[in-house]
Chain A
Amino acid sequence: AQSVTQLDSQVPVFEEAPVELRCNYSSSVSVYLFWYVQYPNQGLQLLLKYLSGSTLVKGINGFEAEFNKSQTSFHLRKPSVHISDTAEYFCAVSQRSAGANNLFFGTGTRLTVIP
């Protein structure tokens, strides 16, 4: 089974400051890793994903994440945040397999960008 822990439920940060949202996972099998963003009253939008290869993954809206296998982490970073980044962010994992790739999500981190 897989599980995801997002250590911070809320992260306030000033506009143009850097931010890191933390994610740790647990799994007995190899996994794919994802970060999704959810704006109010909307579905989830994929920010970035790690499948294989380079451990530093770049996504949309200036976000990037680094896969650290030894620490089982996949932290999300942005060097300079904007007001429009205010949203809920979810880390997720799925099992590497040819079958179902249902996602296991963390409980989310609410990022609030302060003007």
Chain B
Amino acid sequence: DTGVSQNPRHKITKRGQNVTFRCDPISEHNRLYWYRQTLGQGPEFLTYFQNEAQLEKSRLLSDRFSAERPKGSFSTLEIQRTEQGDSAMYLCASSGSGGTGGEQYFGPGTRLTVT
């Protein structure tokens, strides 16, 4: 069990560019979550996958955001036409299903800076 990994750890991009982040969950976990954390705030839920199916999306996830989880393994989060307001830490978490109370294991995050 190597934990949840995220790549890249840091990304600096110019406004208007597209960016893509990757998350590799703990291998036996079938649930995967994306959160966004801005400075001085707690993480905010963006979207949730169970296996390859995207089952829930927050209204924070505008049309410029898209997430995928092909084959129910790793996941990608793409932001198109980035804006300065997209600057944040993007966190990925995974969990097993069943009566675990949804205990989620978090990755180290990808810090996005839009200039």
Q: A residues engaging B (CB < 8 A)? A: 4, 32, 34, 36, 41-46, 49, 51, 90, 92, 94, 99-108
Contacts and interface: CB of A to CB of B under 8 A. Distances in A.
Given A32-B102, A43-B108, A43-B109, A104 B95 contact: no
Given A90-B42, A108-B42, A103 B56 contact: no
Interface of B: 4, 31, 33, 35, 40-45, 48, 50, 55-56, 91, 93, 95, 101-109
B48 A100 contact: yes
A108 B38 CA distance: 12
A49 B103 contact: yes
A32 to B, nearest CB: 4
A32 B104 CA distance: 12
Contact of A32 (B42, B45, B101, B108): B101
Given A43-B108, A105-B44, 14 more contacts: A41-B108, A42-B108, A43-B91, A44-B106, A46-B104, A90-B42, A100-B55, A100-B56, A101-B104, A102-B45, A102-B102, A105-B43, A107-B42, A108-B42
Nearest to A106: B42
Given A43-B106, A94-B102, A101 B95 contact: yes
Contacts of B42: 4, 90, 92, 105-108
A43 B107 contact: yes
Best-buried of B35, B56, B104 by chain A (most CB within 10 Å): B104
Given A43-B4, A100-B55, A107 B41 contact: yes
Contacts of A107: 40-42
A15 to B, nearest CB: 25
- 10 smallest CB-CB distances across A and B, nearest first, come from A101-B102, A105-B42, A43-B106, A51-B101, A102-B45, A44-B106, A32-B101, A43-B108, A100-B48, A94-B102
